[in-house]
Amino acid sequence: MKKYLGLLLGASLLLTSVDTAIAKSKNKSEWGVYRQEFEALKDMEEYKLIFNKKTHFALQDIQRDLELCKELDWSSRSTQSLFLACGVIVVTPKNMPKLYAYIETICKKSNMQTPVVFITTRKGLFNAFAQKMFANTGGILIGQDLLLEISDDALEGVVAHELGHIYHEHGNKSLAIKIASAMGVAIAIEFIIGRPDPNLARLNPDYIIKDRVLKVLLSLILSPCVSSCIIGKKFEYQADEFACKQANRSKELIKFFIYLQRKEYFEKKEFEQNLDTIYKAIQASKSQLSWFDYMGLMSSYYGIKVDYKIMQAYYWFYLNTVFGAHPKTEDRIKKAKEYS
């Protein structure tokens, strides 16, 4: 009897392992080319320690820094410090040849240097951004979550958009506009408020200091507002236009925007449902709680709810006014269709 039980158990374990292997292979077959490249990269000898969860974080950092030093000299690392702070590796023709070739093709077509492309080594970033300051080649950062979650064509649309920021020198233009805004606001404040009264300055030595502090504070508050009004959402639309026209990725960019809309909708819906579930759970347990505990739990609940409402209001303000850099997703979809 024990013999048969052992055989049955062994057969059951074998079938389970086969089913698991089939499921895994099926999942892998559904991965995009770029995700397959990235998963293969993790198994490369030089990257194993970086992506092994059991490796001590300090050793991961050393291994990652070693690979960065091999790919970038000290001057390049200094100009790309914003990206390096995010814990990244460099995409090369060796470790991700297809992704690199796609980016290089667009750059050659647009007569621009291929920027340094980074991917985050840690999860938690569903985003991508680009920066080019002064005369360097610029850089693009791709969040690992973004690469693992969206399709190849949607990723191509996002990357093409980021290349648009570099092509149009948005980093340098933004810096120039901010400096010019700061100088213009400072001059305007000096003209409107006027110079310190020398008679008051003699009577009150702190008068000049207070005058300077007031003007500096006003400049710090007003300068970003002025630069935001000048830039508005122009840079994002320009980058979208580059992706659609120069890179011919309008369908891919629209696909990403639609995916983003759905993701935001379901995340919002899930949060609101969880919020409602927590409220009902507290009310259902009210008779079992002390007055002090009940008030504490409800205070925490309303604190989260108010914070959520504030964030929703800020998000609306950011998307619907010139003070936010990114346009509404539906507006970007409409524009992308016009560009194509």
pLDDT recorded at residue 13:
44
Percentage of the chain modeled with pLDDT above 70: 88
Q: Report CA torsion sign: 75, 77, 80, 85.
A: negative
Determine contact, residues 76/92, Cβ cutoff 8 Å. no
- Calculate the alpha carbon distances from 27 to 16, 21, 111 in Å: 16, 10, 39
pLDDT recorded at residue 207:
67
pLDDT recorded at residue 296:
96
Question: CA-to-CA distance for 26 and 20, rounded, in angstroms?
Answer: 10
Q: Is 73 exposed, middle or buried (0-12, 13-18, 19+ CB in 10 A)?
A: exposed
Read off the pTM.
0.85
127-306-262 Cα angle (round to 5)? 35
Each residue's pLDDT tens digit, 214-273: 888 889 899 999 999 999 999 999 999 999 999 999 999 999 999 999 999 999 999 999
Strand ranges of the sheet holding 88-90, from the earlier edge strand across to the other edge = 88-90, 116-120, 139-142, 128-131
pLDDT recorded at residue 182:
92
Determine contact, residues 121/60, Cβ cutoff 8 Å. yes
pLDDT recorded at residue 216:
86
Determine contact, residues 32/152, Cβ cutoff 8 Å. yes
DSSP character string of 264-306: HHHHHHHHHHHHHHHHHHHHHTGGGS-HHHHHHHHHHHHHHHH
Token look-up 């001057």 returns 75
DSSP character string of 96-147: SHHHHHHHHHHHHHTT-PPPEEEEESSS----EEEE--TTS--EEEE-HHHH
Each residue's pLDDT tens digit, 124-150: 999 999 999 887 889 999 999 999 999
Spans of the chain below 70 pLDDT? 1-30, 197, 199-203, 205, 207
pLDDT recorded at residue 205:
67
Q: What DSSP designation does 88 have? A: E
Token look-up 């840079």 returns 235
